[in-house]
Amino acid sequence: MERVVRRRNEFPSPEELVIGTITEVFPEGAFVRLEEYGGKVGLVHLSEVASGWIKNIREHIREGQTVVCRVMRVDEKRGHVDLSMRRVKESEKAWKREQFRREERAEKLLALAAKKLRKSLDEAYQEVGFKLQEKFGDMYTGLERVAKEGAKVLEELGLGKRWVNALVQVSSSLVEAPLFKVVGYLELSSTAPDGVERIRRAMLKAKEEVSRDGVRVEIYYVGSPRYRVEVLASSYKEAEAVLRRVAEVAINSLRAEGGKGEFHAGKGGR
């Protein structure tokens, strides 16, 4: 079964936040594959990549990079989707990335339930997935409700007994286990004219490197050149390993661009 998080609608709506992968960068902008919409491609014009004057677009984005965009315009007849990166706040980026990760996990559970019933993932979306999205906003929230409240949540959607039993069984894993938090501090600096952007790229690369289910990484600006890194994971050992990997990737990435970096461990706990 191919697993690709999807929506019922063929195209996104204006003002919607979407997650995508940059497939091509050129002087006037970039093409972005929309991961939730069957791989449809949107366009980010150069003026919508970042605020201010852009001398070299490749200093801001690259092929293969995962980005969060705001939908500006949609022309379904022509198949055109105009996107903006600069009009997305950092808080919105974090929310969308987390929502997409949650939906990926929900899809894995949906696929597992479908397998029990010998159904395809396409059938699972048509019979269950889209109904959960329409009722709760996303599948994960719906399955969380199932984990906490039981079969009645699904019965209210009019699902058959076989689907109800399978989904109740797989959604039980969404009852959250305690998370462990560790904290560390990065000191990152660069004397290059675009030093701030180089530091931002290094931290983004570090977060993408460790992105996976059950792990949350947040980086906060404390005061130049100091950044606070918080990692939440299901075990203290895993959290520590992720923290050190974040530091390693960020520092090495920045050094490769002529910058400097140091890491200092902090305090952690439950």
- CATH code of the domain containing 114: 1.10.150.190
Q: Are residues 129 and 96 part of one domain? A: yes
CATH of the domain at 42: 2.40.50.140
Q: Are residues 153 and 79 part of one domain? A: no
Q: Are residues 217 and 164 part of one domain? A: no
Q: Are residues 232 and 209 part of one domain? A: yes
Residue 139 lies in a domain: yes
- What pLDDT was estimated at residue 176? 60
Q: Are residues 114 and 68 part of one domain? A: no
* Residue that terminates a domain, selected from 118, 141, 174: 174
Over the Cα atoms of the chain, what is R_g? 21
Residue 10 lies in a domain: no
Q: Are residues 259 and 189 part of one domain? A: yes
Strand partners, 187: 226, 262
pLDDT tens sequence across 26-74: 999 999 999 999 889 999 999 999 988 898 999 999 999 999 999 999 9
- Helix ranges (H only) for the chain are 90-116, 121-124, 130-136, 139-149, 152-155, 161-171, 195-209, 236-256
Q: Are residues 135 and 64 part of one domain? A: no
Q: Are residues 227 and 150 part of one domain? A: no
Q: Are residues 188 and 147 part of one domain? A: no
- What pLDDT was estimated at residue 223? 86
Residue 133 lies in a domain: yes
- What pLDDT was estimated at residue 132? 94
Residue 227 lies in a domain: yes
Percent of residues in the chain assigned helix, strand, coil, to nearest 5: 40, 25, 30
162: which 2 tokens? 């076989």
* Residue that terminates a domain, selected from 139, 156, 174: 174
Residue 1 lies in a domain: no
Residue 223 lies in a domain: yes
Contacts of range 89-94, beta carbons closer than 8 Å, 24 or more positions apart: 92/17, 92/68, 93/68, 94/218
Residue 92 makes CB contacts below 8 A (sequence gap 6+) with 17, 68, 70
- How many Å apart are CA 224 and CA 206, to the nearest integer? 19
* Residue that terminates a domain, selected from 123, 140, 174: 174
Strand partners, 183: 230
Q: How far is CA 221 from the centre of its chain?
A: 21
CATH of the domain at 261: 3.30.70.1130
- How many Å apart are CA 213 and CA 104, to the nearest integer? 9
Residue 107 lies in a domain: yes
User: Phi and psi for 248 in degrees, rounded to 5?
Assistant: -60, -45
For the chain, count helices (H), then strands (E): 8, 9
pTM of the model: 0.61
> Which residue range is the domain that position 82 belongs to?
17-87
Residue 121 lies in a domain: yes
Domain count, the chain: 3
Nearest to 264 by CA among 254, 256, 141, 250: 250
Q: Please, is 83 exposed, middle or buried when counting C-beta atoms within 10 Å of its C-beta (0-12, 13-18, 19+)?
A: buried
Nearest to 125 by CA among 111, 142, 145: 111
- What pLDDT was estimated at residue 253? 93
pLDDT tens sequence across 83-101: 999 999 999 999 999 999 9
- What pLDDT was estimated at residue 182? 93
* Per-residue pLDDT tens digits of the chain, which is 270 residues long: 344 688 888 999 999 999 999 999 999 999 999 999 988 999 999 999 998 889 899 999 999 999 999 999 999 999 999 999 999 999 999 999 999 999 999 999 999 999 999 999 999 999 999 999 999 999 999 998 898 888 998 999 999 999 999 999 998 877 565 678 899 999 999 999 999 999 999 999 999 988 877 788 999 988 889 999 999 988 889 999 999 999 999 999 999 999 999 999 875 444
Q: Are residues 191 and 160 part of one domain? A: no
- What pLDDT was estimated at residue 2? 47
Q: Are residues 157 and 128 part of one domain? A: yes
Q: Are residues 167 and 97 part of one domain? A: yes
